[in-house]
């Protein structure tokens, strides 16, 4: 059996080309990127002789084997463990919206589906929706119809999007929006299905959707008492 993870790598923008080549050598080409800025204090920056840096965040879906290989290369070739270079981590996925989307996101990685997520009995899940730019209103409307309270949206750019035609039967653009929706686990399947039905691959939004278990929350008290 294999486990699927969302891998996030947060690095200096200055090494983005090296990171892209590292991913490519490992066969990891379908990724989603967004920009960010580091928040280390001046005291910490001074301590390490660093300057405030602009960051790049890469999201990728990986198997446990892919994670081991990429992690080793990040440590050996990028020296990601050197202060100020970056950080990478993985979060287990609990579900993906459709077999074709699974094949697109894993892009040839050897994967044998587990019967159930390794994290059970979670009250909430984080639903992640990746869509073509400009369709978030219809996506959030579909989510709210099935009990979602709201979401947070970031702008991103996809790489390896030409592979979508092979796996999904459609072409999709590089410019993306990513929505993060925390919802009750009991509502997750209905929310994901609503999004896929109304803004999925057969629509201009071309949305793909997957979820991750949430082990604890704060700030959702009103939902908890409903």
Confidence of residue 70 (pLDDT cuts 50, 70, 90): very high
pLDDT tens digits, one per residue of 179-189: 999 999 999 99
Greatest mean pLDDT among 10-24, 26-40, 197-211, 212-226 lies in 197-211
Greatest mean pLDDT among 39-48, 73-82, 108-117 lies in 73-82
- Give the per-residue pLDDT at 117: 46
Higher pLDDT, 196 or 168: 196
Confidence of residue 52 (pLDDT cuts 50, 70, 90): low
Instruction: Please give the structure tokens belonging to residue 24.
Output: 């490519």
Which residue spans within 117-189 are E strands per DSSP?
Answer: 124-132, 152-159, 175-184
Cα separation, 58 vs 156, whole angstroms: 9
The stretch 189-194 carries a mean pLDDT of 97
Rounded to the nearest angstrom, the gap between the alpha carbon of residue 34 and the centroid of all alpha carbons in its chain is: 11
- Give the per-residue pLDDT at 43: 61
Classify residue 213 by burial, with Cβ atoms within 10 Å: 0-12, 13-18, 19+. Answer: buried
Instruction: Please give the structure tokens belonging to residue 155.
Output: 């702008």
The overall average pLDDT reported for the chain is 85
Q: DSSP 3-state assignment of 176? A: strand
Confidence of residue 28 (pLDDT cuts 50, 70, 90): very high
- Give the per-residue pLDDT at 8: 94
Instruction: Please give the structure tokens belonging to residue 189.
Output: 């399947």
Q: DSSP 3-state assignment of 62? A: strand
Cα separation, 113 vs 160, whole angstroms: 23
- Give the per-residue pLDDT at 116: 47
Q: Is 86 left (phi over 0), alpha (psi -120 to 50) or beta?
A: left
Q: Give every strand in the sheet of 86-92, ordered side by side.
A: 86-92, 4-12, 54-63, 31-37, 152-159, 175-184, 124-132, 208-214, 95-96
Beta bridge partners of 128: 180, 210
pLDDT tens digits, one per residue of 106-165: 987 877 765 544 455 678 999 999 999 999 999 999 999 999 988 999 999 999 898 888
Which residues have C-beta within 8 Å of that of residue 1, sequence separation ≥ 6? 112, 113, 114
Long-range contacts of 202-206 (CB under 8 A, 24+ apart): 203/135, 203/138, 204/132, 204/135, 205/131, 205/132, 205/135, 205/138, 205/139, 206/131, 206/132, 206/164, 206/168, 206/170, 206/172
Residue 45 has pLDDT above 60, yes or no: no
Instruction: Please give the structure tokens belonging to residue 120.
Output: 């059970």
Residue 61 has pLDDT above 70, yes or no: yes
16-25 and 64-73 helices cross at what angle (nearest 10)? 130
**What's the pTM?**
0.84
Residue 60 has pLDDT above 90, yes or no: yes
């Amino acid at each position: 059996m294999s486990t699927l993870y969302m891998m996030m790598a947060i690095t200096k923008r200055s090494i983005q080309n090296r990171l892209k080549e590292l991913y490519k050598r490992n066969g990891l080409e379908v990724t989603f990127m967004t920009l960010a800025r580091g928040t280390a204090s001046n005291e910490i920056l001074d301590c390490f002789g660093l300057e405030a840096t602009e960051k790049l965040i890469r999201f990728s879906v990986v198997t446990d084997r892919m994670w081991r290989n990429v992690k080793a290369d990040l440590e050996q070739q990028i020296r990601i463990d050197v202060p100020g270079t970056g950080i990478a981590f993985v979060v287990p996925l609990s579900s993906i919206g459709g077999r074709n989307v699974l094949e697109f996101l894993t892009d040839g990685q050897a994967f044998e589906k587990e019967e159930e997520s390794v994290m059970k009995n979670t009250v909430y899940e984080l639903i992640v929706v990746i869509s073509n730019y400009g369709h978030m209103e219809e996506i959030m409307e579909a989510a709210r119809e099935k009990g979602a309270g709201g979401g947070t949206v970031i702008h991103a750019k996809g790489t390896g999007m030409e592979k979508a035609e092979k796996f999904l039967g459609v072409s999709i653009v590089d410019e993306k929006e990513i929505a993060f929706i925390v919802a009750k686990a009991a509502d997750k399947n209905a929310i994901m299905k609503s999004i896929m039905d109304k803004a999925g691959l057969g629509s201009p939004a071309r949305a793909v959707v997957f979820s991750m278990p949430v082990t604890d929350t704060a700030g959702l008290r009103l939902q908890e008492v409903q």
